[in-house]
Structure 1
Amino acid sequence: MSETRSRRRGEQLETAILDAAWAELNEVGYRGLTMERVASRAGTSKPVIYRRWANRAELVLAAWGRQVPERSRPVDTGGLRSDLLELFSRLARRTEGIMNGMIAGVMAEAFRDPEVTALLQQRINSAPLAEGLRRIVARAAERGELPPLDLPRRAVRLPLDLIRNEAMICGSRLPEDAVTELVDDVYLPLLHGLGSR
């Protein structure tokens, strides 16, 4: 091992590995990504990678998390529908930043491996979407657009599920009218239905 390689540790080494994994995903997709290629590109070894990530899906999720910012400015346009359109549009833009093949690959791995399933669920459930969506709904209630609601967990996850499903079926770039339909035909009726219970 070269002197340069032996000096890299901790965050510097982890960054090199995650950047290498992301570059590989962009070049060869999830199916073509191997730990050998990532190790070679990062200038490290497979055992070093496996000490941090148990499998390819874990590595890809970590690389995805590094590339896609978790937090952004809060959505507050002054109205429920426009807030939801902005939120769904942001989710759609984030989805464009990740390859559908990568999503499909991780999902396929999740079906085969319960640990990957748990990791994927943990990532989805800990996303900052829940906090932002609850703020949108609370402000709508303050303005009288909705009664006060306590959003069920699945209703909180639904915007991400809808966008991800559309992206996987329709291709990586969601048309604006598809985002509008998801808000107007699915999510707003859901919120009003929850409010009338």
Structure 2
Amino acid sequence: MAERRRGPALEKALLDAAWEELTTNGYARFTMDAVVQRAGTSPPVLYRRWSDRDALVRATLQHVMKGALLDIPDTGSLRGDVLTLMREINATRVELVTVMSVQLADYHRATGPDAPHGPLVSGRKEAVDVLYDRAVRRGEARRERLTDRVRSLPFDLLRHELLTTFAPVPDDVLEEIVDTVFLPLVR
């Protein structure tokens, strides 16, 4: 007889099952019943934790994004830090970026731009802010030029490249994004 899951182990199993369901079938076909089946549990177990599918999707995205956090580099330069982080994302997160964008497009449309996903959910925005604060202290960037859009720009361009090719981005493209697009905007 299988051991009964409880507490954090049960919650992890449910969120992992929900993620598998999202990546396999997408948001449009995502149901609480499918997650129950995949997790090998009962509906009350799931509904005690999340009242509806959107609450479960939000919790699942938070779970996945927190597990996918990368260390913020400290190379001694803004260029080095941004390139190092982009290279790490490029080397390890192509599948995650693709799944999050393609399979969850309906979710993002349904929940709107203020939905809790992306950097706001995972704490990545605050982590990357540390990188930019160091650059300002070193005199490499001007604080007034580091708007939210400019801060996210190199990573948005990386995501765009990943989604148009579904493959890792060549290093010379990463360098071009940083050197010719991003750095001139912050100096």
TM-score, normalised on structure 1? 0.71
Distance in 1 of aligned mates of 2:52 and 2:101: 15
What is the distance in 1 between the residues matched to 2:51 and 2:88? 31
Q: For each residue in 1:131-184, what CA deviation from the matched residue of structure 2 results, as whole angstroms up to 9, or x when unmatched? A: 343333333333333345473223333344323222222214333233222212
User: d(CA) in 1 for partners of 2:144 and 2:95?
Assistant: 32
In the alignment, which of 174, 178, 189 is matched to residue 184 of structure 2?
Answer: 189
- Counterpart selection for 1:17 from 9, 14, 25: 14
The residue correspondences of 1:28-177 to structure 2 (distance < 5 A) are 28-30=24-26, 33-53=30-50, 56=53, 58-68=55-65, 69=67, 71-98=69-96, 100-114=98-112, 117-121=113-117, 123-149=118-144, 151-177=146-172
| AA partner of residue 114 (structure 2) | A
Q: 1:108: Cα distance to partner?
A: 2.1
Q: Unpaired segments of 5 or more residues in structure 1?
A: 193-197
Number of residue pairs matched? 185
Q: Distance in 1 between matches of 2:91 and 2:147?
A: 25
Secondary structure of the 1:78 match is: coil
What is the letter of the counterpart of residue 102 of structure 2?
Answer: A
Distance in 1 separating the partners of 2:49 and 2:70: 27
Q: Is the 8 A contact 1:95 1:167 kept in 2?
A: no
* Closer/same/farther in 2, CA of residues 14 and 98 from structure 1, 3 Å limit: same
**Match of 2:111, as an amino acid?**
D
Aligned AA (1:119): A
Moved more, 17-26 or 36-45: 17-26
Q: RMSD in angstroms over aligned alpha carbons?
A: 3.2
CA, structure 1 residues 100+61, in 2 after alignment: closer, same or farther (shift >3 Å)?
farther
Q: Does structure 2 conserve the Cα–Cα contact (< 8 Å) formed by 1:162 and 1:182?
A: yes
Partner Cα separation in structure 2 for residue 132 and residue 113 of structure 1 = 25
Equivalent position SS for 1:145: coil
Q: 1:130 to 1:25 in 2, by over 3 A?
A: closer
Q: Tell me the CA shift for residue 71 of structure 1.
A: 4.3
Q: What SS is found at the alignment partner of 1:120?
A: coil
Greater shift in the superposed pair: 50-59 or 39-48: 50-59
TM-score normalized by the length of structure 2: 0.74
Cα distance, 1:52–1:19 mapped onto 2, change above 3 Å: same
Provide structure 2 residue ranges, at least 5 long, that are not aligned to the other structure. Answer: none
AA paired with 2:115?
L
Structure 1 residues 46 and 188, CA gap change in structure 2 (3 angstroms): farther
| Post-superposition offset of 1:25 | 4.5
